[in-house]
Amino acid sequence: MTAPGPCLHATAPRTWQSAGMSTVTLQPVDENLLPRLLEIAIADTDPHEVMPDVPVAPRWNDASRAAFDEYHRPGDGAAYAVLVDGQLAGAARITPAEAPGAVQAYIWLGRSARGKGYSTEALRLLIDEARAHAASALIAETHVSNTAAVSALRTLGAMLWEDPETGSVHATLRVGEAD
């Protein structure tokens, strides 16, 4: 059973621009944006890079397209497109986590947008969203091989710990006051 957490829904777009960098925006996903997100995912990622618990598969098929549509549709969480200078680059979402008052964060960027600091800025915006939803903590998971994600989490002050058996990296970031 999942503990009660913040009621999540996407708010208005959030934007971050730092000196010398591009503008990163989180745009709430709607029915018009979802097909465009899928196009970006198909063109610039593999299915396992954009959805948790998907077997590693190098190609998109009907099943992975349907899973993408279902996963990225706003439901029990808040779903966003990540835009860089107004162009779609990936997606982000927060969902209620098992820990009371916490949210789980997910971000993916297409290969062409990686390595440029955009995930750090998107994560910063997700932290703002978590605060806007009165969350006390943001939780994220990645793999030790995803050095960009580990770096972004570390840069923004997350506590990290690695599971040496699986290579999973677990992160917790306090974003608000505990209830």
Residue 101, pLDDT > 70, answer: yes
- Whole-number mean pLDDT of the chain? 84
Residue 177 is predicted with a pLDDT of: 66
- End-to-end, the C-alpha distance of the chain in Å comes to 20
pTM: 0.83
The confidence score (pLDDT) of residue 138 equals 95
Structural domains of the chain sorted by starting position, each given as residue range(s) with its CATH number in brackets: 14-174 (3.40.630.30)
Residue carrying the six token digits 């506590």: 159
What is the pLDDT, as a whole number, of residue 58? Answer: 66
∠ CA 70-72-78 to the nearest 5 degrees? Answer: 120
Q: What is the 3-state secondary structure (H, E, C) of 32-85?
A: CCHHHHHHHHHHHCCHHHCCCCCCCCCCCCHHHHHHHHHHHCCCCCEEEEEEEC
The yes-or-no verdict on residue 76 having pLDDT over 80 is: no
Name the amino acid, one letter, at 46: D
Q: Kindly indicate the confidence band of residue 178, based on its pLDDT and cuts at 50, 70 and 90.
A: low
* β 137-143/102-109 pair status: parallel
pLDDT at position 24 is 92
Q: What's residue 1's pLDDT?
A: 36
| Cα 171 from chain centroid (whole Å) | 13
**Cα→Cα distances 57→11, 49, 50, 87, 134, Å:** 33, 9, 11, 26, 37
- Give residue 3's pLDDT: 41
pLDDT of 14 strictly over 90: no
